[in-house]
Amino acid sequence: MNATSTGPGEVISPGTPLVEISHLDKSYGAFKALEDMQFELRAGEVHVLFGENGAGKSTLIQIICGVQNYDSGEYRLFGETLTGLTPAVAHEKGVSIVFQEFSLIPEMTVEENLFLGHEITGGWRLAKSAMRAKVQSVLNRLGFKLDPAARVSTLRRAHQQMVEIAKALLWDCRVLILDEPTASLTDQEAAQLFDIIEQLRDEGLGIIYVSHRMPEITRLADRITVLRDGKYITTVNQADTSEKELVQLMTGRSFDSFFPQIARNPGETVLTFEDVTLQSGHAKNLSFSVRRGEVLGFAGLAGCGKSEVLRAAFGLEKIATGRITANGVALEKHNPRKALSSRICYFPSDRSTEGLAMHQSLTFNSTIAALDDPVFSRRKTLLNRRAERGFTEKMIDKLKIRTPGLTAKADQLSGGNKQKLMIARGLSREFDVFLFDEPTVGVDIQAKLEIYDVIKTLTEEGKAVVIASSELAEVMHMSHRVIVMREGRIVGELDGEAVTESAVLSHFFDHDNKSQAEEQHAS
């Protein structure tokens, strides 16, 4: 099309295509992450990528910003056909991305973070005044009232997000990618962010906005591209569509091939929450029970308290009122040690801080929760290293952990293999209850399937399994029963056939949306 090479800083007229993708394919082994993908981003628009997790949104944005390569098809950036794009080149050309997880260093100031790795120098020293001026101009442009000298750790999440955006805009930026930017923001903070996004759109930037939250899409989107199962479904104008239509486009997929069918044989109740309120206030008035032989799912937006429920069950959250009972015994002064001996096992969502000792060996990591067990130690004092090695070898084999060797450090493994190493710990001694907090976060597709298989096996062996996941498809398709949480409270419980996407989604938001979604479900 119009192959006018537009240098950085040049004003682009609204409507000019910035990113053009056609017939793009990308596979990981046998899994097709993207198939015949199409996408077009124009200057001066907010283009929402809409779809389930696993629909291919992340793969697509990673290809756009050069993190991933593609197998075949065409990718034109600013009218140029590109091959072998790297993140550095993409950044230089003006593609910036703000990830869900912040990349800021908390101990450093706003200004230091903005220039991290791109410091302006005058000879051998930092050109502080030049940097300060540049920061001020960006902050002014965005209308951010931020002190460049403030330490990032002192800022609220929303302000940290602003710093991330300022960081993206510090250098000439024409394509801004925002990946679920409101995941951890309050409504008010999100509203502030939307104003900024609209302002940037008016300045002529092309903005790719990844989200599956209806209210945000209605407010911001100019056009929406719907992806499903790695395939391009359609692109619609926000003005010409409705929530109803979008939800229909997004759902109506089959997960038969992806998620395993888990047999349900509900047995005795092994874990009960009776009107539990947490001291932190992140979750209130929780009452539910967990039974053998079935998978209980917790769904809800980030920050709804689902993760805290699992942490409370494992003794990592103090409870203010109420009672947690395991196998008929009330767990008072609960702590992880007591949880483990009550046969409750927990897999934290944050592998790097709570899950694995990154600089210790596979063996150290796989047996740490079972060192009191007579299999691994004599009188809870002397280690049985042979048994530890034997167990770790067995787990590497059973869970297909790909590792350079037994003495490798946890850090040397890939995300999926790290997760599997953590799961090995759950098999190191006898447990009744398995709590999975975001079981497949940051995990490749192959490992994901293997983890689902572990969950299936455990459940069918008669264990009680609890999953908290922000990935709606995962929690829906893996669970026999789903509890939906909003703002720290349980707002709904769905069982068996009643677990449908629209039913779950309807509980995510407040009643306005609920009636709408129900209406749609009925139709």
Partner 1 sequence: MSEKTQAYGIDLRAVAPHLLLPLAILGVVAVFAMLQPAMLSADNAVNIMKQSSLFFFVACAQLVVIITRGFDLSVGATVSLVSVASSMAMTALLPSIGAGASIFVGVVLGLLIGAAIGAVNGALVAYGRINPFVVTLATMSVFTGVATTISGGFPIFNLPDAFTFAFNQMTILLLPIPLVIAGLVAFALHFSLTRTVHGRVLYVLGDSNEVAHVGGRRVKEHLFLAYVTSGVLASVAGLLMTAQTGSGEPNLGTSLVLSSIAAAVIGGASLRGGTGGISAPVYGSLLIVCLSIGMNLQQINGSLQPVVIGAILVFGAALDAYRTKSR
Closest Cα partner for 61 from 165, 210, 190?
210
- Considering only 124, 382, 511, 522, the residue that binds partner 1 (CB under 8 A) is 382
353 near partner 1, rule: CB under 8 A: yes
In 3-state terms, what secondary structure has residue 13? coil
Which among 103-111, 134-142, 261-269, 345-353 is the span making contact with partner 1, rule CB under 8 A? 345-353
**Min separation Cβ 280 and partner 1, Å:** 16
Q: Quick one: DSSP state of residue 509? A: S
The answer to whether 283 and 277 have CB atoms below 8 angstroms apart is: yes
346 near partner 1, rule: CB under 8 A: yes
DSSP annotation string for 310-328 = HHHHTTSS-EEEEEEEETT
Lookup: tokens for 133: 């001026």
453 near partner 1, rule: CB under 8 A: no
460 near partner 1, rule: CB under 8 A: no
- Considering only 336, 442, 445, 453, the residue that binds partner 1 (CB under 8 A) is 336
**Min separation Cβ 377 and partner 1, Å:** 5
Using the minimum distance from each CB to partner 1, give the nearer residue, 285 or 352.
Answer: 352
* Cα distances (angstroms) measured from residue 357 to each of 199, 214, 361, 369, 417: 44, 39, 8, 12, 14
Q: Count of CB atoms within 10 A of residue 317's CB?
A: 21
Residues composing the chain: 523
**Min separation Cβ 417 and partner 1, Å:** 16
Residues paired with residue 46 on neighbouring β-strands, in sequence order: 207
User: Residue type for 486, please?
Assistant: R
Give the footprint of partner 1 on residues 303-322 (CB under 8 A).
314, 316
**Min separation Cβ 306 and partner 1, Å:** 18
Characterize the bridge pairing of strands 464-468 and 295-299. parallel
Q: Count of CB atoms within 10 A of residue 288's CB?
A: 17
Give the footprint of partner 1 on residues 238-297 (CB under 8 A).
none
385 near partner 1, rule: CB under 8 A: yes
Using the minimum distance from each CB to partner 1, give the nearer residue, 118 or 380.
Answer: 380
375 near partner 1, rule: CB under 8 A: no
**Min separation Cβ 461 and partner 1, Å:** 22
Per-residue H/E/C for 358-397: CCCEHHHHHHHHHCCCCCCEECCCEECHHHHHHHHHHHHH
340 near partner 1, rule: CB under 8 A: yes
Give the footprint of partner 1 on residues 424-443 (CB under 8 A).
425
402 near partner 1, rule: CB under 8 A: no
Using the minimum distance from each CB to partner 1, give the nearer residue, 217 or 356.
Answer: 356
**Min separation Cβ 346 and partner 1, Å:** 7
**Min separation Cβ 258 and partner 1, Å:** 30
For the chain, how big is the Rg over CA atoms in Å?
25
356 near partner 1, rule: CB under 8 A: yes
Q: Give the x/- contact pattern for partner 1 in 57-96, rule: CB under 8 A.
A: ----------------------------------------
Closest Cα partner for 262 from 88, 35, 469, 496?
496
Residues 6+ apart with CB under 8 A from 464: 270, 271, 290, 291, 292, 293, 294, 296, 432, 433, 434
**Min separation Cβ 400 and partner 1, Å:** 17
Site residues for partner 1 per CB under 8 A: 314, 316, 336-337, 339-341, 346, 348, 353-360, 364, 368-369, 371-372, 377, 380-383, 385, 404-405, 409, 411-412, 425
